């Protein structure tokens, strides 16, 4: 299995160390900061930075004036692009692919939360668990996606990730078949988009819905949209292993998360709040491992179908399947990646 992964010489940062063309970053948010920090740590020189035309308004980033793509093309005959933000919409994906036809474009995959980097050293240290997770997947497609995601993370080559995409509809057609009497638990419910997805896939027929959403602005949207829904309970909770108070940073977006400098929220576990569940979705910004531990009794007793984000922390793609198998070895475990650069929306589906 080891030879299915990229050699050290093919990995992103080894490639960049040897690169003689200017290296430029596309984007100027948190992702760009992380890429600059990693490159500085590895003695890789970033020459310049640019943003989409509508965002270039005299900005500077890390002491560099932010330029347009056309300005970069005028300055440098050829260059290497490091994409520093997430892309999933068709029009922007097309724009990225057109840039990739003109110049080498790579996508560093940095963890959203926590430390670490999925590089060659990380691969070697964790190879036993990577092999174990690989053996747990229930179909060949999952194993292919697993290999492609890891190779993408090692190399930053977007073509590797794009080739393993599938639509979310495939999950509900071929993996998780929802009935009309489900007890649904939505952890990280945001504004209710995944509740709507659940209702669409059950023809609005269900037994109960329980949702956790700790972000105040999101909770307000969620309550407006679904507060009057039949047998629907909405809790302003963060999802965790146990009941406790935690610090949280919320801005009304999808990226609200635990933050020691944030405000205090109530955290709780599924086992404490729910007496049963038949389908649990969790997209909890890096707290998936602890959230699964907080579902252990329901998982053992009811074996609910699960949809679990597996991309927030550097090792989630292999630590979460192993944990789920330990909690209930009777599960069948699948992995799918839905359209996104970098490897966000890589999810584990279990039934």
Residues 178, 184, 190, 191, CA torsion sign: positive
Task: Give yes or no for residue 2 having a pLDDT over 70.
Answer: no
pTM listed for this prediction: 0.94
Q: What's the CATH code, domain 2-108?
A: 3.40.50.20
Query: Which architecture characterizes domain 168-350 according to CATH?
Result: 3-Layer(aba) Sandwich (3.40)
pLDDT digits (tens, 9 = 90+) for 267-297: 999 999 999 999 999 999 999 999 999 999 9
What ranges do the domains of the chain cover? 2-108, 168-350
Residue 228 has pLDDT above 90, yes or no: yes
- Residue 255 CA to residue 253 CA, distance in Å, equals 6
Q: What percent of the chain has pLDDT over 70?
A: 96
- On the question of pLDDT at 253 being above 80, the answer is no
Q: Kindly state the helix (H) or strand (E) to which residue 209 belongs, with its residue range.
A: strand 208-212
Q: What is the mean pLDDT of residues 176-192?
A: 97
Token reading at 345: 């929306």
Q: What is the pLDDT of residues 28-63, one digit of tens each?
A: 989 999 999 999 999 999 999 999 988 888 889 999
Question: What pLDDT, on the 0 to 100 scale, is given for residue 54?
Answer: 86
Residue 266 has what pLDDT? Answer: 95
**Residue 252 scores a pLDDT above 60:** no
**Which of 13-17, 82-86, 245-249 is the least confident region?**
245-249
23-26 sheet: strands from edge to edge: 48-50, 23-26, 80-83, 104-106
Mean per-residue pLDDT for 231-236? 98
Same topology, domains 2-108 and 168-350? Answer is yes
pLDDT in tens, 161-177: 999 999 999 999 999 99
For residue 9, the 8-state DSSP code is G
């Amino acid at each position: 299995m080891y030879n299915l992964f990229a050699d050290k010489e093919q990995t992103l940062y080894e490639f960049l160390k040897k690169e003689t063309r200017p290296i430029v970053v596309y984007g100027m948010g948190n992702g760009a900061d992380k890429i600059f920090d990693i490159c500085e740590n590895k003695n890789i020189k970033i020459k310049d930075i640019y943003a989409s035309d509508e965002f270039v308004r005299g900005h500077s980033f890390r002491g560099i004036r932010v330029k347009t793509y056309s300005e970069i093309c005028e300055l440098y005959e050829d260059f290497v692009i490091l994409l520093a933000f997430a892309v999933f919409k068709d029009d922007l994906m097309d724009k990225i692919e057109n840039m990739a036809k003109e110049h080498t474009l790579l996508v560093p995959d940095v963890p959203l939360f926590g430390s670490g980097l999925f590089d060659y050293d990380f691969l070697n240290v964790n190879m036993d668990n990577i092999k174990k997770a690989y053996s747990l997947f229930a179909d060949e497609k999952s194993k292919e996606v697993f290999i492609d995601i890891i190779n993408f993370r090692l190399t930053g080559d977007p073509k590797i990730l794009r080739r393993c995409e599938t639509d979310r509809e495939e999950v509900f057609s071929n993996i998780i078949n929802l009935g009309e009497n489900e007890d649904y638990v939505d952890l990280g419910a945001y504004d209710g988009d995944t509740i709507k997805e659940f209702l669409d896939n059950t023809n609005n027929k269900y037994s109960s819905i329980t949702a956790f959403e700790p972000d105040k602005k999101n909770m307000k949207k969620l309550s407006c949209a679904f507060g009057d829904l039949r047998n629907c309970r909405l809790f302003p909770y963060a999802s965790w292993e146990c009941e406790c108070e935690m610090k949280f940073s919320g801005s009304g977006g999808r990226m609200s998360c635990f933050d020691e400098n944030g405000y205090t929220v109530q955290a709780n576990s599924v086992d404490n709040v729910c007496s049963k569940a038949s389908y649990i979705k969790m997209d909890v910004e890096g707290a998936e491992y602890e959230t699964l531990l907080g579902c252990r009794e329901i998982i053992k007793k009811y074996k609910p179908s699960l949809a679990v984000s597996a991309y927030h922390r550097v090792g989630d793609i292999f630590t979460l399947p192993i944990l789920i198998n330990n909690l209930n070895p009777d599960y069948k475990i699948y992995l799918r990646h839905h359209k996104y650069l970098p490897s966000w929306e890589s999810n584990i589906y279990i039934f």
